[in-house]
Chain A
Amino acid sequence: MMAVHETQGEEEFADEPTEGGVDEVEARVGLAYTLKQVKRDSTARMGFYIIAFITAIAAFVSIDYYLLDYAMAKAIPFLHHPERDPEVINTLLPPVGMENGLGSGTWEHPLGTDHRGRDILTRLIYGTRIAMTVGFMATAIGLVGGTLVGAVSGYYGGWVDDVLQRITDTIYAIPFLVLVIAFMSAFGRDISYAMVGVGIASIPVFNRLIRSRVVSIREEEYIEAAKAAGVKDRNIILRHVIPNSFAPVLVQATLQVGVSILIVAGLSFLGFGAQPPTPSWGQMLAASRNYMLPAPTFSIWPGIAILVTVVAFNLLGDGLQDALDPRINN
C-alpha cells in the first residue's frame, strides 16, 4: 500500500505551511488565535494595550469597592476616598501647576478637585468600574441575545425568521437612547437597568450581523456535509455556524463596548444611570457642566477618559477586522 502512496508525491500541496508544530491552535477562532493575530497588527495592539490597562484598573477598583470597602483607596498615598467629602474642603482646585480664581493646584490633588472638593484623579480611576462593567455587560447581553436570535432565525428561516426579524426591526426603529430611557423609566433609574437596557437595545445589532452570516453559511457545502454526516442541528449551529461568524462578531462586539460606554455616559449625564456619589465619568461630566467657567479642567478630565476608552475600543475593533479577515491568509 505504501508503494502506491509514494508515487503520489508529485501531487502538489497548496502553500507549504511555514509553521505547523504541535502547539498550533486547533481553530482559527477563539482566544488563543485572536491574541496571536492581534499581536501582529499595530493598531489592534495599541487598542488592546490601552484596554488592558483600563481593564486592569477597573478590576483593581472593583475589588476595592466590593470587597475592601475602599481600604486600598485610603492606603495608597495619592488616592483619596472616592465618594466621601474630604475633611478639608477645597472645591474646584485646578490641576497641579495651574491656577484659577479659587486657588492653585497642588500635588495633593494632581488633577484638581471637583465641586465638593473630592479628588478628581481618584474619581476618574474609580469611574473605570462603572464604565467597563457597563460596557462589557451591556455588550455581553446584546451579544448573547443577538447571537441566539440571529442564529435560530437565519438557520431555520421561514416564519420563525419572519417573526424574529419583525420584532428586531421594531426595536431597531426606536432611537437607541429613547429606548433605554423608556426602559429605565419603567424599571428604575439604577445603573444596572441602564446596563440591561443598553444590552437589549443592542440585540438587533448582533442579531442582524449573525443572521446575515448564518444565511450565507447555511448554503456552504460543509454544512450540507455535516448534515449528511448526521450532525445535529444544534451542533451544526454551535460548531460550524457560530465559529464562522466569530471574527465579524468579535469586531462588532469590540466596537459595541465603546458605543455602550458612550451611551451610558450620556445616560448618566442626563441623570439616568450611576447615581451620586458613585464615581462615574458621565455623572462627573454632568456635575462639571455648572462649573465650566470657574474650573474648565473639571469637565476636561472625564471627557478625556471617555474619549481614550472609546477610541481604544475602536482601534482594537478596526485592527481585529484586518487581523481576523479570513481572506488574508497569514
Chain B
Amino acid sequence: MSEEPLLKVENLKTQFFTEDGTVRAVDGISFEVYEGELVGLVGESGAGKSVAALSVMRLIDSPGVIVDGEVTFKGKTLVGYEETTGEPGEPPELVEREEMLTEEEMRTQIRGREIAIIFQDPMESLNPVFTVGSQLREFIELNRDLSGTEARAEAVQMLREVGIPEPEKRYEQYPHQFSGGMRQRVLIAMALACEPSLIIADEPTTALDVTVEGQILDLVEELQRKYDTAFVWVTHDMGVVAEICDRVNVMYLGEVIEQANVEELFYDTKHPYTEALLASMPRPDRTTGELNPIRGVMPEAINPPSGCRFHSRCPDAREVCRRVHPDLRAIENGDHDGDENGRVHRAACVKHDAFDVGYPESEPLENEATGGFEVGLTQEGSR
C-alpha cells in the first residue's frame, strides 16, 4: 500500500448556526483513508457521521458551515482555510486558501468523478419520474465522454455488474418497480460508473433487511476487490463493521474517539464507548447471551458536556473526566506500535497512560451508566 493517504481529514469542524444555538455536529475530527481501503465511520445516530461525510464532499448547506480544518484528496485541497476569525455563535469569516478547489472544480473534478457518495435511503435517491436506466445513462454521459448509445450499453453493463438480473429489461423500468435491495444496487452502479477512487457510503444498508444487507455487503466486497476502490462506510452497526471494514473510526458527539484496524478495535478495545457499542451488539463469538444497550442518551451537540463528552454515560468515568477533554492519542499496544502498515491505534480516553492526568487517583463519577441517577433502585450498578 502506498504511504500517502488518498483522503486526509484533519481537525475538520462543521457547525450549524441555528436559532437555538450552534450545533457542533462535527467537532475537530481527523482520519485518513488509504487507497483501496474500506474505512468504517461508526457511531450512534446523531454522532455527526453524515455531516462528516457531506463535509468531505463540501455538500453542507446553510445553516451549516465548515468552519475549520483541512481535507486533502490526492494532493488537492478540498477544504483549507487561512486563519479564521469570528464571534462565537456567528458563522466565522472564512478566507479560503488559494489552492482550495472552487465550487466549479469540486463539481467537475471531484464529485461523482473522484469521490462518489451513496445515500442511506435507496427509496429516495432515485428520481421517481425517470426510468432507472435513463438516470444511470445520464450520469454516465455527464461524467464520461460517451455517446448516447455507448452510454446506454455501459449503463446496462453496470446493471449487470452489480447483479441485477435481466439488466436490459430493468433498464426500462421505474424506481418504484425495484425493491430496496435492487435500488441500492443501482446506486452502487451509479457510484461505480466513473470508477472513482473513493466511495462514501452513508448507511446504505440501514433501510434493508438483514438478508438483503448481507447480499449487498458481499457485492461491495467483491466490487471493491475488483475495482480497488476505497470506501468510507458510514454505519451505526458494529456487525457491518466487522464484516467489511479494514479500519474503523468510532465517532461520539462530533468527535472521533477511537481509531484502529478492525481486529484491534474488536479484540483490544481502548475506549469505553466502543466497548459499550460492542456490548450492545449480538456477537456469535461471545456466548454469554445478554445484550447491553448503552445506558442513557447521547447529549445534544448544541451544548456538549465538558471534559470527555462521554462522561455522562461512561461506566469508567471518574472525576477527572469531567474536567479534562481528551484528544485522540496513540495508545501503546504492548507488543507493537501500530499495525503492519504502521497505522497506530488511537483513542481519546484519559484512563490510558498516554494521558497522565491523574485518572487512577480520581474519584469515580456517578452517572447514567454507573446508576447515579437511579440510586436506590439499582444499587449493584454503583461501585
| Complex Cα spacing A240 to B139, Å | 13
| Complex Cα spacing A229 to B138, Å | 11
| Complex Cα spacing A239 to B135, Å | 10
Most A-side CB within 10 Å, residue of B108, B116, B124? B124
The number of chain A residues with a CB under 8 A from chain B is 39
- B39: min CB distance to chain A, Å: 18
| Complex Cα spacing A10 to B163, Å | 12
- A222: min CB distance to chain B, Å: 5
Q: Which of B173-181, B277-285, B291-299 contacts A (4 or more CB under 8 A)?
A: B173-181
**Chain A, range 68-86, C-beta contacts under 8 Å to B:** none
| Residues A228 and B177 in contact, CB atoms below 8 Å apart | no
| Residues B116 and A228 in contact, CB atoms below 8 Å apart | yes
Q: Which of B40-48, B126-134, B260-268, B312-320 contacts A (4 or more CB under 8 A)?
A: B126-134
**Chain A, range 1-49, C-beta contacts under 8 Å to B:** 1, 4-5, 8-15, 17, 20-22, 24, 26-29
Chain B positions within 8 Å of A13 at CB level: 177-179, 182
Chain B positions within 8 Å of A166 at CB level: none
| Residues B134 and A230 in contact, CB atoms below 8 Å apart | no
| Residues A4 and B178 in contact, CB atoms below 8 Å apart | no
**Chain B, range 180-223, C-beta contacts under 8 Å to A:** 181-182, 187, 190, 211-212, 215, 218-219, 222
| Complex Cα spacing A41 to B165, Å | 34
Given contact pairs A20-B169, A221-B125, A229 touches B116 in the complex (Cβ within 8 A): yes
Given contact pairs A12-B179, A14-B177, A28-B174, A240 touches B111 in the complex (Cβ within 8 A): no
Chain B positions within 8 Å of A228 at CB level: 57, 59, 111-112, 116-117, 119
| Complex Cα spacing A277 to B212, Å | 73
Chain B positions within 8 Å of A28 at CB level: 128-130, 174
The yes or no answer to A108 lying at the interface (CB within 8 A) is no
Partner of A11, one of B108, B113, B179: B179
Chain A positions within 8 Å of B174 at CB level: 28
Chain B positions within 8 Å of A12 at CB level: 179, 181
**Chain B, range 226-280, C-beta contacts under 8 Å to A:** none
| Complex Cα spacing A222 to B119, Å | 9
The number of chain B residues with a CB under 8 A from chain A is 49
| Residues B127 and A222 in contact, CB atoms below 8 Å apart | yes
| Residues B130 and A224 in contact, CB atoms below 8 Å apart | no
| Complex Cα spacing A17 to B172, Å | 11
Please, which residue of chain A has its CB at the minimum distance from the CB of B162?
A: A5
| Residues A11 and B112 in contact, CB atoms below 8 Å apart | no
| Residues B111 and A227 in contact, CB atoms below 8 Å apart | yes
Please, which residue of chain A has its CB at the minimum distance from the CB of B163?
A: A5
| Residues A329 and B176 in contact, CB atoms below 8 Å apart | yes
The yes or no answer to A55 lying at the interface (CB within 8 A) is no
| Residues B163 and A222 in contact, CB atoms below 8 Å apart | no
| Residues A230 and B143 in contact, CB atoms below 8 Å apart | yes
| Complex Cα spacing A329 to B139, Å | 26
- A88: min CB distance to chain B, Å: 60
The yes or no answer to A172 lying at the interface (CB within 8 A) is no
| Residues B163 and A326 in contact, CB atoms below 8 Å apart | no
Please, which residue of chain B has its CB at the minimum distance from the CB of A22?
A: B172
- B73: min CB distance to chain A, Å: 14
Chain A positions within 8 Å of B138 at CB level: 239
Chain B positions within 8 Å of A14 at CB level: 176-179, 182
The yes or no answer to A176 lying at the interface (CB within 8 A) is no
| Complex Cα spacing A13 to B182, Å | 7
Please, which residue of chain B has its CB at the minimum distance from the CB of A232?
A: B107
Q: A201-227 vs B: 1/0 string, CB under 8 Å?
A: 000000000000000000011101101
Q: B360-377 vs A: 1/0 string, CB under 8 Å?
A: 000000000000000000
| Complex Cα spacing A151 to B328, Å | 46
| Complex Cα spacing A5 to B218, Å | 10
Chain A positions within 8 Å of B134 at CB level: 26-27
Chain A positions within 8 Å of B173 at CB level: 17, 20, 24
Show the binding face of A for B, using Cβ within 8 Å.
1, 4-5, 8-15, 17, 20-22, 24, 26-29, 158, 220-222, 224-225, 227-232, 239-240, 243-244, 246, 326, 329
Q: List 28 A-B contacts (CB under 8 A).
A: A4-B219, A4-B222, A5-B163, A14-B177, A17-B173, A20-B169, A20-B172, A20-B173, A22-B172, A27-B131, A28-B128, A28-B129, A221-B121, A221-B124, A225-B119, A227-B111, A228-B119, A229-B111, A229-B139, A229-B142, A230-B106, A230-B107, A230-B110, A230-B111, A230-B113, A239-B127, A244-B128, A244-B129
Question: Told that A12-B179, A228-B111, A230-B143 touch, could you supply 18 new A-B pairs with CB distance under 8 A?
Answer: A14-B182, A17-B173, A20-B173, A24-B131, A26-B133, A27-B129, A27-B134, A28-B129, A220-B124, A221-B119, A221-B124, A225-B119, A227-B59, A228-B59, A229-B139, A230-B106, A230-B108, A243-B129
Show the binding face of B for A, using Cβ within 8 Å.
57, 59, 62, 106-108, 110-113, 116-117, 119-121, 124-131, 133-134, 138-139, 142-143, 163, 165, 169, 172-174, 176-179, 181-182, 187, 190, 211-212, 215, 218-219, 222
